[in-house]
């Protein structure tokens, strides 16, 4: 902008041919112009100073140089080579605005012909006059004013002009300000007008709305009325329908009754007919009458009996009521006790808290007087209802109040020891009652403790011991509690009481934990005992084996020494069983029956006979596990259960059989069979197995087959093993019915009892885990799919 101004100014100065004074002025103007851009940086069209001067100087007739805004000056520039032509881009509207401005403001119009070189003096005089009128000092020298006319003082003129210009500037500024203000006001007015218009619109719209609402309200009202009418109608309908329903109901019932009467008549008729006809068919045919369950005969119906019956009934009614009354009484008593307990607890806690509170606030009311006595709670409730309820309510409200205070203020000072003791008492009392010991709740005191100990000295020693133990634990607990309280008091004084209360809440949990621990300990003890028994059994087994080895060596020795001819061999070979090899090769389709000529071959219910004969051993029979009831089975012969092989000079070493077959296997017996197998064939003991309808499982590992306890001591061992109710005792029991079509397997650990003790036991290395549904038609056994319930069973069946 400056550059454009300057260019214009240069132009002016170049084309003007003003005198020196004029040149001076123009220089001053130049100077001014140099400052002007700084003064009016943001001015648009009305930048006063430079423009004015420019206009004043530059305007030549017919050459309408126009003032533009900012960098815009010329539109129809007289000098086409001007650099400012490049600024022709200015918008015409702005230029128009400037024109308007110039027309309006006469300041910018040139007073042409006012001062010419001819009338300069007059002009000056006129100017002087004007200036004097305006209050400026004269532009003539005062000294020479009288004598030689007035001397023109250029400096004065310049000063005055400067003043004028400054004043003019001021005025212009003022004017601009006013214009701005004016603008502002006008815009404000416009805004207000707009607002007013808007508000007016709003008013009209709200009026419309109102009208609409009113209309709607009217409509709704009308609807309401109609709905009410409808409702009334519906209600009437309902009533009518109800009455219809009722009438139908009554009609239905009436008809029903009629029908029923008819039916009753028909029945009566039928009865009569039946009575008249006396059917031959009807009646009871019974082989022989059976006696009453209690052995008495049927009694005649006499009045005496009837009376007795009535009496009995009334007795039972009375007994029922008595029972009921007793139940109610107990319940009532229990409720009373609970109430008393609660009341005591509340009052204990409350007293502790309130005492504490009193220490802090000595003025707080003592509400302990409201306490309900135990006696009150045992009185007929009807009589003391108001008292008890009122007091409890008071207590509760004051307690709530206290709690409110506590939570709001917090407890700042340390708790006194007695309060703690009291709270501990409460805890101790709870634990004591829970533990079932009769410790009084005030037993935290050592002396009292001793006293109670002394008292209980009279009772038997173990009771005393138990009590002592209980007390000791109690004391320990209390000490712990006190310690805890102190610790808590030190670190957290504020929350002390809260802690205590909280602690009392955990007592039950602690008790349950304690109980659980006790149970666990008991379990541990039983486990230890079991383990001990097992060790014993193992030791005994070892001894047994040792004994057996001895026997065997003896046996071998004896055999070597004697070398008897193989008498029994010819018929004892019929069935030889590779027992020790772990496969008992009998199957249901090929029952292996003993063909021992001396042994009567009885088709016995699946009995397993193990006979072992040896000529040299002295005749001695060992039967173990023989059950009498088994022998008395209907199809059973006694020989089946007990077989002796009466070979000359031979004897049965161990023969036993239980009708339903009981196989017990232990490493010891397997050993026994291995020993037997090792014997040379002539002297070998016969092991006959007789299995009818029997399929035996072949257990997975070598320890198999069936045996009979060879010596009484082993028998003992088995008995011991049987009696052990241990999870290790996973035996697969095989139950079978001779005539029955089905087979049933189950894992059984129940101790042997009664006639069911016969089951064949085969020790398996682990609980049988057959997967899925096995349906083996040959074996005909079914297993539950264990995967279905293995996961759940632990939780389900515990």
Partner 1 sequence: MNFSDLFQQTSGLCLFSPNGKYLANCVQYRLIVRDVRTLQILHLYTCLDAVQHIVWSPDSQFILCGMYKRGITQVWSIEQPEWTCKIDEGSAGLESVCWSPDSRHILTFANFQLRITVWSLINKSVSYIKYPKQGKKMLDFTSDGSYMALAERRDCKDYISVFSCKQWQLMKHFETDTKDLAGLEWAPNGRALAVWDSILDYKLLLYSLDGRCLSTYSAYEWALGIKCVSWSPSSQFLAVGSFDEKVRLLNHLTWKVIIDFSHPPLLEGKAVVYKEIEKKLPSLQGEVDPPGGAVFTGSSHYEVVSERPAQIPVIKADPEKANPKIGVSLAVFSPDSKYLATRNDNMPCALWIWDIRQLALVAILLQAAPVKHLEWDPCQSRLAFCTGTNKVYMWSPAGALSVDVPVEASFLVQSLRWHPEGAAVLLMGRENMCMCFIDRDKNR
Site for partner 1 in 257-276 (CB under 8 A): 257, 260-261, 263-264, 267, 270-271, 274
Q: What is the pairing mode between strands 775-776 and 651-652?
A: unpaired
What is the spatial distance between Cα 210 and Cα 223, in angstroms, rounded to a whole number?
19
Which of 500, 449, 457 has its CA nearest to residue 476?
A: 449
Q: Which is nearer to partner 1, 558 or 789 (CB)?
A: 789
- CB neighbours of 496 closer than 8 A, spacing ≥ 6? 411, 414, 415, 485, 488, 489
Q: Which of 119, 512, 737, 776 binds partner 1 (CB under 8 A)?
A: 737
Residue 41 sits in the site that holds partner 1 (CB under 8 A): no
Q: Which of 189, 211, 256, 539 binds partner 1 (CB under 8 A)?
A: 256
Q: Which is nearer to partner 1, 38 or 277 (CB)?
A: 277
Asked if residue 614 lies in contact with residue 584, where contact means CB atoms within 8 angstroms, the answer is no
Helix (H) or strand (E) holding 88: none
Letters for 696-725 (x = contact with partner 1 by CB under 8 A, - = none) are: -----------------------------x
Angstrom CA distances, 367 to 310, 343, 350, 776, stand at 60, 14, 9, 83
CB atoms within 10 A of CB 231: 12
Q: Which is nearer to partner 1, 262 or 550 (CB)?
A: 262
Q: Which stretch binds partner 1 (CB under 8 A): 131-139, 281-289, 606-614, 687-695?
A: 281-289
Q: Could you tell me the end-to-end alpha-carbon distance of the chain, in angstroms, rounded to an integer?
A: 102
Q: Which is nearer to partner 1, 210 or 312 (CB)?
A: 312
**Shortest gap between Cβ of 378 and partner 1 (angstroms)?**
21
What is the spatial distance between Cα 388 and Cα 395, in angstroms, rounded to a whole number?
10
Positions 212 through 251 that interact with partner 1 (CB under 8 A): 245
Q: Which is nearer to partner 1, 566 or 786 (CB)?
A: 786
**Shortest gap between Cβ of 589 and partner 1 (angstroms)?**
18
Q: How far is CA 474 from the centre of its chain?
A: 36
**Shortest gap between Cβ of 615 and partner 1 (angstroms)?**
40
Q: Which of 17, 81, 86, 288 binds partner 1 (CB under 8 A)?
A: 288
Q: What is the pairing mode between strands 140-141 and 151-152?
A: antiparallel
Positions 314 through 333 that interact with partner 1 (CB under 8 A): 314, 316-317, 320, 323-324, 328
What is the spatial distance between Cα 223 and Cα 429, in angstroms, rounded to a whole number?
72
Angstrom CA distances, 58 to 3, 4, 16, 68, 785, stand at 16, 14, 8, 14, 119
Question: Tokens standing for 219?
Answer: 């409509």
Task: Provide the edge-to-edge strand list for the sheet that holds 731-735.
Answer: 744-748, 731-735, 760-763
Positions 528 through 567 that interact with partner 1 (CB under 8 A): none
**Shortest gap between Cβ of 793 and partner 1 (angstroms)?**
5
Q: Which is nearer to partner 1, 22 or 262 (CB)?
A: 262
**Shortest gap between Cβ of 376 and partner 1 (angstroms)?**
25
Residue 465 sits in the site that holds partner 1 (CB under 8 A): no
Residue 292 sits in the site that holds partner 1 (CB under 8 A): yes
Which of 770, 767, 764, 765 has its CA nearest to residue 788?
A: 770
Positions 342 through 371 that interact with partner 1 (CB under 8 A): none
Q: Which is nearer to partner 1, 217 or 320 (CB)?
A: 320
What is the spatial distance between Cα 403 and Cα 401, in angstroms, rounded to a whole number?
5
Q: Which of 113, 293, 565, 680 binds partner 1 (CB under 8 A)?
A: 293
**Shortest gap between Cβ of 329 and partner 1 (angstroms)?**
12
Sign (positive/negative) of CA torsion 761, 765, 766, 770? Answer: negative
Count of positions on this chain that bind partner 1 (CB under 8 A): 80
Question: Tokens standing for 225?
Answer: 């009325």
Q: Which of 276, 301, 771, 778 binds partner 1 (CB under 8 A)?
A: 301
**Among the residues of 86-153, which ranges form H helices?**
92-104, 120-134
Q: Which stretch binds partner 1 (CB under 8 A): 97-105, 308-316, 578-586, 608-616?
A: 308-316
Angstrom CA distances, 715 to 324, 619, 624, 674, 720, stand at 57, 19, 7, 19, 9
**Shortest gap between Cβ of 251 and partner 1 (angstroms)?**
14
Q: Which is nearer to partner 1, 697 or 782 (CB)?
A: 782
Q: Which is nearer to partner 1, 595 or 785 (CB)?
A: 785
**Shortest gap between Cβ of 727 and partner 1 (angstroms)?**
8
Residue 336 sits in the site that holds partner 1 (CB under 8 A): no
Q: Which of 93, 290, 458, 505 binds partner 1 (CB under 8 A)?
A: 290
Q: Which of 148, 386, 618, 795 binds partner 1 (CB under 8 A)?
A: 795
Letters for 739-778 (x = contact with partner 1 by CB under 8 A, - = none) are: xxxxxxxxxxxx-----x----------x----xxxx---
Q: Which is nearer to partner 1, 283 or 362 (CB)?
A: 283
Q: Which is nearer to partner 1, 150 or 662 (CB)?
A: 662
Q: Which of 42, 133, 289, 458 binds partner 1 (CB under 8 A)?
A: 289
Q: Which is nearer to partner 1, 109 or 316 (CB)?
A: 316
Q: Which of 237, 306, 413, 463 binds partner 1 (CB under 8 A)?
A: 306
**Shortest gap between Cβ of 752 and partner 1 (angstroms)?**
13
Q: Which is nearer to partner 1, 528 or 784 (CB)?
A: 784
Asked if residue 583 lies in contact with residue 698, where contact means CB atoms within 8 angstroms, the answer is yes
Q: Which is nearer to partner 1, 111 or 302 (CB)?
A: 302
CB atoms within 10 A of CB 538: 11
What 3-state DSSP class applies to 613?
strand
E-state strands within 410-569? none
**Shortest gap between Cβ of 325 and partner 1 (angstroms)?**
11
- CB neighbours of 593 closer than 8 A, spacing ≥ 6? 575, 601, 690, 692
Q: Which is nearer to partner 1, 566 or 588 (CB)?
A: 588
Sign (positive/negative) of CA torsion 201, 203, 205, 207? Answer: negative
Q: Which of 222, 309, 476, 585 binds partner 1 (CB under 8 A)?
A: 309
Q: Which is nearer to partner 1, 271 or 361 (CB)?
A: 271
**Shortest gap between Cβ of 328 and partner 1 (angstroms)?**
7
E-state strands within 717-798? 731-735, 744-748, 760-763, 775-776, 781-782
Q: Which is nearer to partner 1, 263 or 417 (CB)?
A: 263
Q: Which is nearer to partner 1, 185 or 635 (CB)?
A: 635
Q: Which of 112, 279, 369, 454 binds partner 1 (CB under 8 A)?
A: 279
Radius of gyration of the chain (CA): 65
Q: Which of 299, 416, 476, 525 binds partner 1 (CB under 8 A)?
A: 299
318 CB-side CA count, 13 A: 6
Using a 10 angstrom Cβ sphere, with 0-12 exposed, 13-18 middle and 19 or more buried, the burial of residue 36 is: buried
Which of 474, 339, 358, 505 has its CA nearest to residue 419?
A: 358
What is the spatial distance between Cα 732 and Cα 696, in angstroms, rounded to a whole number?
11
Q: 338's torsion region: left (phi>0), alpha (psi -120 to 50) or beta?
A: alpha
What is the spatial distance between Cα 726 and Cα 769, in angstroms, rounded to a whole number?
19
Question: Tokens standing for 522?
Answer: 């008991």
**Shortest gap between Cβ of 210 and partner 1 (angstroms)?**
45
**Shortest gap between Cβ of 335 and partner 1 (angstroms)?**
12
């Amino acid at each position: 902008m400056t550059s454009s101004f300057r260019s214009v100014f240069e132009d002016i100065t170049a084309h003007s041919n003003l005198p020196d004074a004029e040149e001076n002025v123009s220089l001053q103007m130049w100077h001014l112009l140099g400052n002007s851009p700084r003064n009016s940086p943001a001015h648009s069209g009305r930048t006063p100073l430079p423009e004015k001067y420019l206009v004043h100087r530059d305007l030549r007739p017919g050459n309408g140089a126009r003032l533009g805004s900012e960098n815009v000056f010329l539109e129809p520039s007289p000098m086409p080579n001007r650099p400012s032509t490049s600024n022709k881009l200015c918008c015409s509207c702005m230029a128009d605005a400037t024109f308007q401005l110039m027309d309006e403001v006469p300041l910018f119009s040139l007073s042409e012909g006012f001062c010419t070189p001819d009338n300069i003096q007059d002009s000056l005089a006129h100017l002087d006059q004007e200036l004097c009128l305006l209050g400026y000092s004269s532009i003539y020298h005062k000294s020479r004013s009288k004598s030689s006319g007035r001397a023109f003082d250029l400096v004065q003129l310049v000063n005055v002009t400067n003043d004028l210009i400054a004043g003019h500037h001021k005025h212009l500024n003022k004017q601009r300000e006013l214009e701005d203000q004016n603008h502002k006001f006008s815009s404000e007015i416009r805004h207000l007008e707009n607002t007013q218009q808007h508000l007016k619109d709003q008013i009209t719209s709200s009026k419309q709305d109102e009208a609409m609402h009113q209309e709607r309200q009217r409509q709704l009202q009308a609807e309401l009325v109609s709905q009410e009418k409808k409702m009334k109608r519906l209600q009437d309908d309902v009533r009518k329908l109800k009455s219809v329903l009722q009438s139908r109901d009554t009609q239905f019932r009436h008809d029903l009754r009629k029908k029923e009467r008819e039916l009753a008549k028909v029945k009566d008729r039928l009865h009569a007919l039946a009575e008249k006809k006396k059917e031959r068919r009807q009646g009871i045919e019974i082989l022989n009458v059976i006696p009453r369950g209690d052995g008495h005969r049927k009694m005649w119906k006499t009045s005496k009996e009837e009376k007795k019956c009535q009496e009995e009934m009334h007795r039972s009614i009375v007994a029922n009521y008595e029972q009921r009354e007793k139940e109610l009484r107990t319940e009532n008593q229990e409720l009373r006790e609970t109430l008393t307990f609660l009341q005591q607890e509340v009052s204990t806690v409350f007293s502790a808290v309130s005492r504490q509170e009193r220490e802090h606030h000595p003025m707080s009311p003592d509400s302990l007087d409201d306490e309900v006595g135990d006696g009150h709670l045992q009185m007929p409730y009807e009589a003391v209802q108001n008292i008890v309820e009122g007091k409890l309510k008071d207590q509760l409200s004051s307690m709530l109040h206290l709690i409110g205070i506590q939570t709001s203020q917090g407890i700042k000072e340390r708790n006194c020891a007695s309060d703690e003791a009291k709270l501990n008492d409460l805890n101790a009392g709870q634990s004591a009652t829970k533990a079932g010991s009769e410790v009084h709740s005030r037993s935290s005191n050592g002396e009292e403790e001793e006293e109670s100990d002394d008292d209980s000295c009279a009772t038997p020693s173990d009771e005393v011991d138990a009590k002592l133990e209980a007390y000791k634990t109690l004391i320990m607990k209390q000490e712990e509690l006190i310690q805890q309280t102190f610790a808590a008091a030190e670190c957290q004084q504020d929350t002390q009481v809260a802690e205590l209360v909280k602690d009392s809440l955990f007592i039950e949990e602690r008790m349950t934990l304690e109980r659980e621990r006790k149970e666990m300990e008991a379990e541990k003890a039983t486990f230890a005992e079991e383990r001990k028994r097992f060790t014993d059994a193992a030791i005994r087994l070892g001894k047994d084996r040792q004994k057996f080895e001895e026997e065997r060596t003896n046996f071998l020795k004896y055999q070597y020494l004697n070398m008897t001819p193989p008498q029994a061999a010819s018929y004892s070979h019929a069935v030889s069983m590779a027992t020790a090899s772990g496969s008992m090769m009998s199957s249901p389709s090929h029952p292996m029956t003993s063909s021992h000529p001396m042994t009567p071959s009885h088709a016995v219910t699946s009995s397993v006979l193990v006979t072992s004969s040896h000529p040299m051993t002295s005749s001695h029979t060992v039967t173990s596990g023989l059950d009498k009831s088994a022998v008395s089975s209907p199809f059973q012969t006694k020989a089946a259960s007990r077989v002796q092989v009466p070979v000359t000079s031979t004897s049965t070493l161990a023969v036993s059989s239980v009708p339903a077959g009981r196989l017990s296997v232990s490493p010891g017996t397997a050993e026994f069979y291995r020993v037997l197998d090792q014997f040379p064939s002539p002297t070998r003991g016969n092991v006959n197995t007789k299995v009818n309808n029997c399929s035996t499982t072949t257990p997975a590992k070598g320890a198999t087959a069936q045996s009979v306890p060879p010596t009484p001591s082993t028998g003992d061992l088995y008995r011991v093993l049987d009696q052990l109710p241990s999870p290790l005792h996973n035996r697969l029991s095989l139950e079978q019915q001779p005539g029955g079509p089905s087979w049933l397997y189950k894992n059984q650990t129940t101790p042997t009892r009664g006639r069911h003790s016969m089951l064949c036991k085969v020790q398996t290395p682990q609980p049988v885990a057959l997967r899925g549904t096995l349906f083996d038609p040959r074996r005909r056994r079914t297993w539950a799919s264990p995967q279905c319930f293995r996961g759940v069973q632990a939780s389900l069946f515990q």
